Structure 1
């Protein structure tokens, strides 16, 4: 399946716990001031990749703990990101995703493709990057407004449950 990418980074240690394969999707509607991935904003930028090649990269690295969907905005490519997430889960890997959208807005819009993707995601870091709330002390996010959400628990309880390290 085709996916528009900015890039793929193997052996990331900053996009979630453990060693990760990070998929940087291309295209972002948020265009947050101060974003450190400016090159991912243009929906026509980057290149067209293949989700099967990404899944192959997952199987080739026995040290991976998980895959992270970043951007750009991965929720704008829900079918391709879901394909990657399902493949990662079959390999026993956890799935993290970063989005500039808010959890509440995602659920309220109820896009079935995005909701299906959420079912595969273990942890979602939500909210736009806000340069005036930037902090280098935060774990796995860039600004204090962003939340690290335990997706499985949040969907089950129908309330936001924050992820805790070493669960």
Structure 2
């Protein structure tokens, strides 16, 4: 089986509790206006074998406090997502959190067929016209659903956001480009770009060069 992957990273500390292993799947048919992860939209690129992906994940599984899957849109690859999560559960007993732009009614049939693979899921498209006051959300229409007893640890994020929720993990890829993981507050990336440019550095969003991911 092939899986289209944008990137993987460990540790991710801004997308769920603890030091998590993050997997961003490639390809998104939803394409929310204002998305900060435009580099993950195009389908058909970044494909790797499932075995190759699992080998990369296995390097960090003993250290990871859980797995967070985002994108892109994970449910654009429903069979690959199910296969990935089944294999994860064979490697780890830690929680799985999935971010999707789809609503619960849309993914319910998949969840019924694959009960227990996801412990908590954040549903709903990003909407830049709505407020952003809740933890782990880009906009307040998004909903956190805990699906298993293990997912109850994620219920701590069903609350108003505070300063700790606006942190971003900063990573560097093999080309030396920086990218970020997390849920930025409105305007944060624009302010960062302005500050970097004022200091004489070049900065751009994923809509321009694939620099930021969230």
TM range (shorter): 0.7 to 0.9
Q: Secondary structure at the match of 2:15?
A: coil
Render the CA deviation track for 1:22-75: whole Å, top value 9, x for unaligned: 11111111110111110111113x411222233223332222011111111101
1:80-99 pair list within 5 angstroms? 80-90=80-90, 91-99=92-100
Q: 2:143 aligns with which of 144, 147, 165?
A: 147
Aligned to 2:50: 51
Choose the corresponding residue for 1:123, options 97, 120, 125: 120
1:164 is aligned to 2:161: no
Equivalences, count:
152
**Structure 1: runs of 5+ lacking an equivalent:** 154-160
- SS of the residue corresponding to residue 101 of structure 2 reads coil
Normalized against structure 2, the TM-score is what? 0.64
Whichever of the two has the greater Rg, that structure is: 2
Residues 1-20 of structure 1: CA distance to partner in whole angstroms, max 9, x if unpaired? 21011111221111221111
The change in CA–CA distance for 1:117 and 1:6 in structure 2 (over 3 A counts) is: farther
Q: Distance in 2 between matches of 1:23 and 1:140?
A: 16
Name the SS of the counterpart of 2:67 in structure 1. Answer: strand
Match of 1:102 in 2: 103
1:40 aligned residue: 40
Q: In the aligned structure 2, how far is the partner of 1:80 from the partner of 1:32?
A: 23
In structure 2, the gaps of 5 or more residues are 158-214
State the distance in 1 between where 2:94 and 2:40 align: 25
In the TM superposition, structure 1's runs of 4+ consecutive aligned residues that sit over 4 Å from their partners are none
CA contact (8 A) 1:69 1:81 kept: no
- Please tell me the root mean square deviation across aligned C-alpha atoms, in Å: 2.2
Find the counterpart in structure 1 of residue 165 from structure 2: none
Hey, what does 2:180 align to over in structure 1?
none
